[in-house]
Amino acid sequence: MAKFSIILPVRNGGEYAKECINSILAQTFTDFNIVVLDNCSTDGTVEWLESLKNEKIIIHKATKSLTIEQNWARIKDVSRNEFMTMIGHDDLLGPDYLAVMNHLIERFPDATLYQAHFNFIDAGGQFVRACLPMDEQQRVHEFLASQMQRTIDSTGTGYMMRSSDYDALGGMPAHYPNLIFADFSLWIRLMAKGYKATAFNNCFSYRLHDSVSRTTNGMAFLNAFGEYVKDMHALQQQLPEVDASIRRYGKDFLLFWCESLSHRLLKTPVKLRTLKVKGLIALFKAHAATLIPGQPFEPVSIFRIRLALLLDSNAISRNVFQWYRRQTGNPRQ
């Protein structure tokens, strides 16, 4: 049995998936397999994988078309090695990724989550920037403090964990719409069982382009954020240090996401949402009452939130806003 499993859920990955697979097969540490969860690809992805005739590649084909949540939920149902990592089909591993992870695990055998530094690349694979620096060891309350202050970059790729820990937590929480914030939920619950160890090596690349998170409409994003608030609150009730971090940094965190999601909701056609910006603000006040009870929380004190509230107040202003977005070349929802 190999030591590592690299999990690749994919649907019509095209050339990106080929580049991703080739980056995995180029690993200098060779004790691994690749578990592909194909979601009824029609672009030749499976045929190309089969043509490689590589015994390291194990393909699990879906019998019917699945949602992204359903496909990722299959991870816990397939055989995996002792350690596992998940990768987006458009991301890349450096050739030393597994070697670095193996050394990190040997140095920190009691950690429950492992990570490395990484680079952001654009759609064409060109370097954009390096991730923000991370500490070598980080507890869950420290991770949350960094996340709430936006002093850490965190993606769905590059994290390593034990398959047994993944299974014990029920796998990737598939009830999160489009899996937005689902990886954060998994990371904090894993760290709550121990801590995260991070290698200083930059040994994978995360691609920035029109990913699911960027194209998800306002309601789905808002609902996913609400699920993450529930998971943070659950840890807040269990761990005093998490409670202290959230009480210290939670207000700015909630204001940031209230501002961001108010504009994402505004960009979402009315027929695709059940809330107006006014309702979103009320929802965030409820989140504040849950996470930071007793602290003053006034979203309308932020100019861009007031602006979103004003623009969403009637059909005329919404239409003017949508017209402006089309004129400025940003019509995507």
pLDDT in tens, 170-204: 999 999 999 999 999 999 999 999 999 999 999 99
Count CA atoms closer than 13 A to 85's CA, side-chain side: 27
Query: What is the reported pTM?
Result: 0.93
Backbone angles phi, psi at 82, to 5 degrees: -55, -45
Orientation angle between helical segments 315-327 and 303-311, nearest 10 degrees: 110
Which CA distances in Å does 322 have to 56, 223, 276?
Answer: 49, 23, 15
Statement to judge: residues 222 and 163 lie in one domain: no
My answer on whether 43 and 171 are in the same domain is yes
pLDDT tens-place string over residues 308-321: 999 998 888 877 77
Residues 226 and 147 in one domain: no
User: Measured between alpha carbons, how far is residue 292 from residues 144, 232, 259 in Å?
Assistant: 14, 12, 18
Lowest mean pLDDT among 3-7, 98-102, 205-209: 205-209
Domain match, 193 and 105 both: yes
Distance (Å, rounded) from C-alpha 323 to C-alpha 66? 35
**Parent domain of 174:** 4-213
Same-domain check for residues 150 and 267: no
Question: What are the structure tokens assigned to 245, written together?
Answer: 């971090």
- What pLDDT score was predicted for residue 333? 37
Alpha helices (H) in 169-211, listed in sequence order: 182-191
